[in-house]
Structure 1
């Protein structure tokens, strides 16, 4: 017995007792507009009120007694899942995300994205961003909004919620970009100027200049140990396969070249002519 079957059972009981059933009116409203959140929440409250003993309560049967708040949460969850099956329903998906976000943030975000895809008007996106902001998830709200926002077709409120989310996320650059796009789409809205001031006042964390460290020029002695032979002028620095150049002979260390025989005779005669007494 599903949640809607239980509601219908209550409606039938009320009709048999000639009692005007508020549940019947709420169900009719949701059938006409599955995005009527007020009707959804009120219906969840009504079905958790005490019921006649003849009607079995599938929410509490074979379970330990629960608190009234827990019963309302369970009823709202069941109703939201029932109506979320309508391809035109986006409000029930937002309600499911609201119930999920504290325990499963990723699952909640996926439902919000689906809700925004189902609603081209931008209302679902505005409500989704506001819900995430209320939960302190401004960064997630900015990510969702940047992906889904269409300034040309979405209402001003959607862009306003997105700018406020960027401000709360301390993302000044993104906030200024978004408020500029919002001003282009709605040039006649005076509040844009206030949003611009909010964006300009954002102090982003971790700002400041990054010092540039330049290494000091290295000397030849520091760059190359004395034990390493000089590199080849034509080969790459430090290349293991470079062919060392042939050593240059030291001219000063060469032995004197022997004189030719004729040269020795001339030198001997010249030396004899310089001997004293001759």
Structure 2
């Protein structure tokens, strides 16, 4: 079922939010990584979906009462946008939706996103997502295989250091910080993670 059809199911009647959702979807077709548009659209989905069930397109049944229709709409949106070869942000959102029930799929989505985004922002977000979900070792594997300390943003190294700390691999954390010091010695996030690590050693 198309995203806009799902959006229309969430509204009791014609709503300016539905029109705005359509406008944002057009904007995201032009730039699937427009995070402001994506986040605004997510907020609209939440606003519309608080109390209205949607039909599951696989079963044609309404979602059970304890399930929210919002996830279904977010999934449709993210999956649709992720089909664009430029898209990385929608893949991170898919990973966020997948991580609880299908960690393997989430890891794949993170890896694809990281491969599509050059600055390291997608990699940073993917590492942080995995650590928050309780998979710091997996986060380290992905990060160590893709991190380029000389080119990526500081957040990748910081996130990878946090993954190492969460995994109890403090020697790796120290090594990552040494790489960060070469380019970002005075960055406040680097200083903070160094202080956190120092308290553990």
RMSD: 3.1
Change (3 A) 1:29 1:45: farther
Q: Which has the higher contact order (CA 8 A, sep 6+)?
A: 2
Cα deviation, residue 22, structure 1: 2.0
Change (3 A) 1:9 1:106: closer
Aligned position for 1:100: 98
Aligned position for 1:39: 40
Cα distance in 1 for residues equivalent to 2:8 and 2:18: 14
Aligned position for 1:89: 87
Q: Does 1:153 align with 2:151?
A: yes
Aligned length, in residue pairs: 195
What runs of 5+ residues in structure 1 fail to find an aligned partner?
A: 52-56, 204-278
Aligned to 1:21, which of 19, 22, 29? 19
Cα distance in 2 for residues equivalent to 1:18 and 1:3: 16
* TM-score, with structure 1 as normaliser: 0.60
Structure number with bigger Rg: 1
Change (3 A) 1:174 1:130: same
Cα distance in 2 for residues equivalent to 1:50 and 1:103: 24
Cα distance in 2 for residues equivalent to 1:194 and 1:20: 43
Q: Tell me if structure 1 keeps the 8 A contact 2:4–2:22.
A: no
What runs of 5+ residues in structure 2 fail to find an aligned partner?
A: none
Change (3 A) 1:119 1:40: farther
Looking at secondary structure, tell me which structure has more helix per residue: 2
Cα distance in 1 for residues equivalent to 2:16 and 2:90: 31
